[in-house]
Amino acid sequence: MSAAKSEPKLIFRIQLEPEGRIGRGKIQLLAHIRDTGSISAGGRAMDMSYRRAWLLVDEMNRLFREPVVESQRGGKQGGGAVLTPFGEALIAHYHAMEEKARAALAEDIGWIAANLAE
């Protein structure tokens, strides 16, 4: 019995030399942080430890001239995190680039899909 044929999909990632990159995972993390107000909760939404989420946020904050997330230390009210205006713009620009790439390559991806083995 053969498995159902999977449609090819474009996975968009931007490599920033020498070591950084921005892809859908980091963009999803930023969106979860925006929605939850927390690095920890944003990471949990992706089954990610707080440490892993914090390291990714720290990496993104160091990649750019402006931070993408600002965090506040805990206390009586607890800590929190907010996306900066730059972080919001990064999400918007990433999604716009992803959609442009998808539209530009739709015909070629369709050709690949039509030629996949059954």
Give residue 6's pLDDT.
Answer: 78
CB atoms within 10 A of CB 108: 11
First to last CA, the chain: 11
116 Rama sector, left if φ>0, alpha if ψ -120 to 50, beta otherwise: beta
pTM to 2 decimal places: 0.86
pLDDT tens digit sequence for 56-111: 999 999 999 999 999 877 655 667 999 999 999 999 999 999 999 999 999 999 99
Q: Are 81 and 37 in contact (CB under 8 A)?
A: yes
Band of residue 14 on the pLDDT scale cut at 50, 70, 90: very high
Give residue 106's pLDDT.
Answer: 95
pLDDT above 50 for 117: yes
CATH code for the structural domain at 14-111: 1.10.10.10
